[in-house]
Structure 1
Amino acid sequence: MKRIALTICSATLLLLSCNNSADDKTKTETASSDTTSKMADVKTETAAPLMDSAAMMKAWMDYATPGAMHTWMAKTNGTWESEVSQWMDSKAPPTKVKATNVQTSSMGGRYVIGKFTSNMMGQPFEGMSTMGYDNAKKMFVSTWVDNMSTGITHMTGTYDEATKMMNFKGHQTDPTTGKDSEIREEMKIIDDNTYTMTMYGPGMDGKEMKFMEGTFKKKK
């Protein structure tokens, strides 16, 4: 009787083992099929249409060739001077300091490099900007570095000819958190020899506030 019971148990275990092997095989085949299907879907979604060499060359030439917006940028070249107002607290009166911004074209007119000098919190302050117009993205691009930080500010913007207003938006590093914080700039063209610049960023309460403003005059 014990031998029969053992035989039945052995047969049952063997049957269960076979069933489990079959189930595992089915699961493996199903998973493999699903993976293959997903890979095919990814390939279908990410596959970009092939571009012939002539079209590719034209795209690169269009991207690399300075245009009307680069000609406009060149108008901002020169030495500009201003008395700049600075705010550390939106509820307190601003401090006022002299500032100079020297702008020159670079890379065959593709970029304008600005060198800014002033004072901030009683210390000498200097910064450097790069402004360009990305032909492919159809927008202005800008970077900023200075001697009071170790990060790079990145902004993108558009110019409205009707209002003569350049609007830049981007991000800079918040040293208290190590994360990005929003920043924006408004540049208003008054005439060929005058423009205003206003900078906005987060205040002590985290809300946007104006922290710098100035009217720049071209030095003759």
Structure 2
Amino acid sequence: MKNEKSLVLIAAGCLALAGCASNKNAETAEAPDETMDTMETADAVESAERTTDNPWITDADDYSGGEWTSEADESGYVEAADDYREPAPVEMMPEPAPETKVAESKPVEKPKASEKPKATPEPAMAKGDMSMEEMMAAYMEASTPGEHHEHLSHFVGSWTYTSKFWEYPGAEPGLSTGTASVRPDLGGRYFVERVEGSFMDMPFEGRNMMGYDKVAKEYFFAWGDSMSTGIMVGRGQCDGDGKVFTYHATYNDPMAGPQKVKSVVTVVNNNMHIYESFAQDEKGQWWKNMELTYKRRN
């Protein structure tokens, strides 16, 4: 009996302990969590303080940046580098294209019944319109010496000359003498002259190339001498008989600058010709400043 009473007391004690535990759990579930409320309130206060200190953030709830740190830059704006996002680009509206004015077309005037339409001139014949035979014939004609080269053949040979030179109109002429030789070159297409003598008591040499350009249809000469480093180029024509050649040229005078020259060569006979040179005065009038008389050497 004594043992049975002991078992009853133990069971009763267990039931009492179970009841106490049940009441304890119920009280815990019904009571508010004061610790959680305290932590949330502290976080909100800290967030509000940080939002107030940072002029770039107006509302803590809208802040979507990174983590708050203990250090801030000069502007007070701090966020985690990993959460930084570039602002979206602003699309600019394109400028309107300038208005283009369309030129008003004028009505085409129709020719009157009494008027005849004007004839369109035919274009000059181009190389593309010529056959190979015609092109070759044109080049052969341009490169073949003709009658004008025959006129120049008079000067071929050896010559002596006497010269007169005037420094200004009315002055006494200076006199000099020399020799010249002329030979055909490149199949009679050109004529090369070599001059040796004296000028103003000084040794003098000169070279001259004469010819006739069949394409340009004009005579020409190119003269250079030992008293200059330049060249004088003249172009001109001759009379119908090929006895008088008239050239116009320019040269650079070291004192007066560019100067115009007119040269006239007159064939007196087969053994004699005269060269005359003319300069211009201030009024543009020609005056003779040089004369050379050539005589053929035996």
Question: If the TM-score is normalised by the length of the shorter chain, which range does it land in?
Answer: 0.7 to 0.9
The answer to which structure, 1 or 2, has the higher relative contact order (CA under 8 A, 6+ apart) is 1
State the Cα distance separating 1:166 from its structure 2 match. 0.9
CA offsets 1:144-187 (integer angstroms, 9 cap, x no match): 01111111111112111358211111211232355x32111111
**Correspondence for 1:98 among 177, 186, 191:** 177
1:186 paired to 2:277: no
Larger CA deviation: 162-171 vs 93-102: 162-171
Q: Where does residue 132 of structure 1 map in the other structure?
A: 211
Structure 2, gaps ≥5 residues long: 1-92, 104-123
Q: Distance in 2 between the 1:52 and 1:76 partners?
A: 39
Residue deviations 1:105-129, cap 9 Å, x none? 1111111101112222221111110
One-letter amino acid of the counterpart of residue 152, structure 1: I
Corresponding pairs, count = 185
> How many Å separate the matches in 1 of 2:195 and 2:281?
23
Between 56-65 and 195-204, report the one with greater CA deviation: 195-204
Q: CA RMSD in A?
A: 2.7
Q: Distance in 1 between matches of 2:170 and 2:262?
A: 20
**Structure number, greater radius of gyration:** 2
Pairwise CA distance, 1:201:
2.2
Contact 1:166 1:188 in 2 (8 A): yes
Show the counterpart of 1:218.
Answer: 296
2:230 is aligned to 151
After TM superposition, give the deviation of residue 99 of structure 1 in Å: 2.2
Secondary structure of 1:119's counterpart equals strand
More strand by share: 1
The SS at the match of 1:75 is: helix
Q: 2:142 aligns with which of 48, 55, 63?
A: 63
Asked whether the 8 Å contact 2:234–2:249 carries over to 1, the reply is yes
Partner of 1:195: 273
- Aligned partner of 2:158 in structure 1 is 79
Aligned to 1:22: 98
Shift of 1:216: 1.1
Q: Report the alpha carbon displacement of residue 205 of structure 1 after superposing the two structures with TM.
A: 7.8
1:164 aligns with 2:243: yes
SS at match of 2:182: strand
Quote the offset at 1:203 in angstroms: 5.2
Cα distance between partner residues in 2 of 1:62 and 1:131 = 19
Report deviation, 1:61.
Answer: 0.5
Distance 1:115 1:62, change over 3 A: same
For residues 69-127 of structure 1, give each alpha carbon's deviation from its aligned partner in whole angstroms, at most 9, with x where no partner exists. Answer: 21221221111112110111223110111122211111111111011122222211111
SS of residue matched to 2:155 = coil
Give distance in 2, aligned partners of 1:91 and 1:206. 17
1:22 alignment partner, SS class: coil
Q: Report the Cα distance in structure 1 between the residues aligned to 2:289 and 2:254, rounded to whole angstroms.
A: 17
CA deviation profile, 1:36-92 (whole Å, cap 9, x unmatched): xxxxxxxxxxx9733432222111101111112212212211111121101112231
The SS at the match of 2:98 is helix
For 1:88, which of 167, 191, 195 is the aligned residue? 167
Question: Whole-Å Cα distance in 2 between the matches of residues 102 and 117 of structure 1?
Answer: 9
TM-score normalized by the length of structure 1: 0.74
